[in-house]
């Protein structure tokens, strides 16, 4: 498995984690838990942006990774 493939797989996992935190934030009855899950969701969103930028950089530097 190439580095680009691993990074893209990580991105998919992060998106799943983000969705799970979002669901927990919406379904939790406890306000503190809602805030905690919302904060975790926001952090994963920032990480997702960073990973997407890294994927773009990989694709520019290594054309064989583009679109795979």
DSSP 29: S
CB-based contact 42:55 (threshold 8 Å): no
Domain count, the chain: 1
Full residue range of the structural domain in which residue 41 is found: 3-65
pLDDT tens column, 25-63: 999 999 999 999 999 999 999 999 999 999 999 888 877
pLDDT tens column, 19-29: 999 999 999 99
Is this model's pTM higher than 0.95 or not? no
């Amino acid at each position: 498995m190439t580095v680009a493939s691993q990074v893209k797989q990580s991105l998919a996992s992060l998106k799943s984690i983000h969705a799970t935190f979002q669901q927990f934030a919406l379904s939790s009855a406890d306000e503190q838990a809602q805030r905690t899950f919302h904060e975790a969701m926001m952090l994963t969103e920032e990480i997702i942006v960073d990973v997407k930028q890294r994927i773009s950089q990989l694709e520019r530097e290594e054309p064989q990774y583009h679109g795979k």
